[in-house]
Structure 1
Amino acid sequence: MVKLTEKQRRFADEYIKSGNATDAARLAGYKNAEASAKDNLRKPTIKSYINGVLEEMASKRIMQASEAMELLTTIARGEMEETMYIGTSDGVITIEDKKPDINQRTTALKEILKRYPIDREGKERLLQAQADKATAEAALAKNKADKLTQSGKVNELLQSLLDVKSGGDGSA
């Protein structure tokens, strides 16, 4: 680990607790707390120590991906039970252990499948389905464009008929 003096270590530990550098310097025993705080936060050894401690704390407090996947797996398999509090007609509350319902299990499965690639055959089917969807969307767009083009021609013909009926020569 990083070599710090006892005073620097106290400063860093207090800074980690409070997030206030001036207070940390004062508590660590520095005479000019504000100036010492600024100086200490610029020192690479102290910054390195603080970052190392914060990373270690985060790794203990924040769930890792493997732990999250294990939790999702127990839900998807229906192994985890949830405690339910149920009110009865006579007002007595009973506690019942409930396994995940099908919606919860399906949601957990979807989350797992997002993170793990499917087999080659499944991937090919997915790619084919995406290609088919793109082809269908292109055909729909072309159909709409054709209708708009035809609609424009129909409008021109209707305008010509109206002009002829009103005594015009059909030119716009």
Structure 2
Amino acid sequence: MKERQKRFADEYIKTGNIEQSALEAGYSKTYARSQSHKLLANVGIKAYIDEQMEEIHKRRRQQHKSNIMDAEEGLSILSDIARGKRDEEVIMMNPVTGEIERIMKKADNNTVIKAINEILKRYPTAKQSEKLELEIERLKAQLTDTQIEDDTITIVDSWEVDDEGN
């Protein structure tokens, strides 16, 4: 691929505008207006653009992944809150000066309790596990009873007629 074609491709990746990219790469105004679409039809240029776009998408995915919290990090933060190791920023107005101040304070009891409850949802106690096992057994028994009832068929071989003949 020639240098001018590479400049066109790089500019096209930035702007998405064929004509403007051709002009920026050094092609004439006439060529840019009437023939620049042929540059995108060029196999070499198209392959280069596809490679560069894939590289850009790969970098974005990596940046996005590094920005997402995993479960371990989330539990670590909840644990720090529950243990009182994380301070909370509070914005208050100073009654004397009237100025707004930012102060750091320890998490209050409500916040600590919420953090502990969130952790316990993920790690049930022995008593909660036992309760879940009993609930599962009860549901299995209920399912078995329902299946037995479904298998029972009642055959009616006589018709009862009421006083009106129905």
Q: TM-score, normalised on structure 2?
A: 0.52
Distance 2:88 2:59 in 1: 26
The percentage of counterpart residues that share the same residue type is 25
Instruction: Show the counterpart of 2:27.
Output: 30
Please state whether the residue corresponding to 2:35 is helix, strand or coil: helix
Cα distance in 2 between the residues matched to 1:56 and 1:98: 44
Instruction: Give 2:12's aligned residue.
Output: 15
Pair 1:19–1:167, CA change in 2 (3 A): same
Q: Counterpart amino acid of 2:27?
A: Y
Matched residue type, 1:40: L
C-alpha offsets along residues 107-133 of structure 1, whole Å, 9 cap, x if unaligned? Answer: xx79xxxxxxxxxxxxxxxxxxxx979
Q: Following TM superposition, by how much is the alpha carbon of 1:42 offset from its aligned partner in structure 2, in angstroms?
A: 1.7
Partners of 1:62 and 1:73 in 2: how far apart? 21
| Range with greater deviation from structure 2 (89-98 or 11-20) | 89-98
Instruction: State yes or no: 1:102 paired with 2:115.
Output: yes
Contact 2:12 2:18 in 1 (8 A): yes
Q: TM-score of the superposition, structure 1-length normalised?
A: 0.50
Q: CA RMSD in A?
A: 4.8
Instruction: Tell me by how many angstroms 1:96 deviates.
Output: 3.5
Deviation string for 1:33-91 (max 9, x for gaps)?
Answer: 14433211122211221122222223333336873677543332227968644446847
Gaps of 5+ in 1: 111-130
Instruction: Name the counterpart of 1:52.
Output: 51
Listed one character per residue, the Cα deviations across residues 139-168 of structure 1 (whole Å, up to 9, x for unaligned) are: 375367479x77xx7xxx9x94xx52x342
Amino acid at match of 1:67: S
What runs of 5+ residues in structure 2 fail to find an aligned partner? 124-135
Aligned length in residues: 136
